[in-house]
Amino acid sequence: MTHPFPVKVVALQAGVSVATVDRVIKQRGGVHANTVRRVMQALDELARQSTQVGLSGRKFMLDVLMVAPRRFTDAVRAALESELPSLHPAVLRSRFHLHETLEVEGIVELLERICKNGSHGVLLKAPDLPPVAEAVNRLAAAGIPVVTLVTDLPASARRSYVGMDNRAAGETAACLIGQWLGAGKRPRKQQVLVTLSSNRFHGEEEREIGFRRALRERHRHLSIVEVSEGHGIDGATGALVRQALAGYADIAAVYSIGGGNAAIVQAFAQAGRPCQVFIGHDLDADNVALLKSGAIQAVLHHDLGQDMRRACQEILRAQGALPVVAHAPPLSAIQIVTPWNLPALNGLN
């Protein structure tokens, strides 16, 4: 097995010993299959990133741990790797730990492994649960800063949160749905289906709180039907939505907080039910296609590239490579994207 990278660099990328990498590369056997996969993934990551980032100057290793649907983690990976060249003369490389679903024990185990192997910083999207917060605290105590992405762990020792104001996003969705369904002098009582990937994510909870509050204050004729724990995965989300449609006759709109939007649209079609207004989050490939087809009316988007740049800058500040700023940078702007103002993003258009 030939490759252009020093064994020490591969070992650092994979988080294993030099001897283990040497054994895998020379195919001498005696290495666990999971470890072999980690080494191969490290080689793949180095190959991709070396085309964008020169391996010179001061080097920093980031670990990116995310529990989210693949369509979203793919978008985050692409955004991060596209931002790496802008961070010169510092050089940042990234190790990815991406899972569509992962129990809290697995998340804690991964964070403990990162702490043991060493890292310059962690970008984390994980549920807001005490064991996860405690693991983040241990990383911080070991001098490894953690930046939370999209969803926060506010009770932990994380360095900062990068993403949009999720409560404001929920209020924005309520405003759009309330207006597009039409209030009038005597508005008709209708229901809005709110879908979450899981009620364990702080960001999703904040979006729902903002949405409920705005409906209560300005659109009392609209009530909420909530489904959760589909993890943004099409199969599980679609099944939950089909159950909701069978049980509630007045669902007229959808606020999709947690994703799986193609499956939600399909569930309405299979039930022969119209969806008058559909608001989603994030411009992944599925949502771009759904916007173009008219199946959803708007997506609440934030610039992932800007988020990745800010997250990396936070890690560099924590490592003393950038000066500390007097004020925390603002949260990401909420962009309302419709079929008529789709931006060009990562070749999705």
Listed in sequence order, the residues at least 6 apart from 129 whose beta carbon sits closer than 8 Å to its beta carbon are 104, 200
pLDDT surpasses 80 at 113? yes
- 2-11, 35-44, 224-233: least confident range: 2-11
Q: Computed over its alpha carbons, how large is the radius of gyration of the chain?
A: 22
pLDDT surpasses 70 at 91? yes
Beta-bridge partners for 301: 335
Neighbours of 258 (CB within 10 A): 28
Residue closest to 334 by CA, chosen among 163, 136, 176: 163
Name the amino acid, one letter, at 10. Answer: V
Residue closest to 215 by CA, chosen among 268, 179, 165: 179
8 A C-beta contact, residue 40 and residue 5: no
Give pLDDT tens digits for 203-214: 999 999 999 999
**Helix (H) or strand (E) run with residue 67 in it:** strand 59-67
Name the amino acid, one letter, at 119. Answer: S
pLDDT surpasses 50 at 176? yes
Give pLDDT tens digits for 259-308: 999 999 999 999 999 999 999 999 998 999 999 999 999 999 999 999 99
pLDDT surpasses 90 at 195? yes
Task: Compute the distance between CA of residue 73 and CA of residue 64 in angstroms, rounded to an integer.
Answer: 10
- Which of 1-10, 180-189, 293-302 tops mean pLDDT? 293-302
Residue 48: the pLDDT is: 75
Cβ-count burial of 159 within 10 angstroms (0-12 exposed, 13-18 middle, 19+ buried)? Answer: buried
Beta-bridge partners for 61: 93
Give pLDDT tens digits for 15-64: 999 999 999 998 888 889 999 999 999 888 888 776 444 434 678 999 99
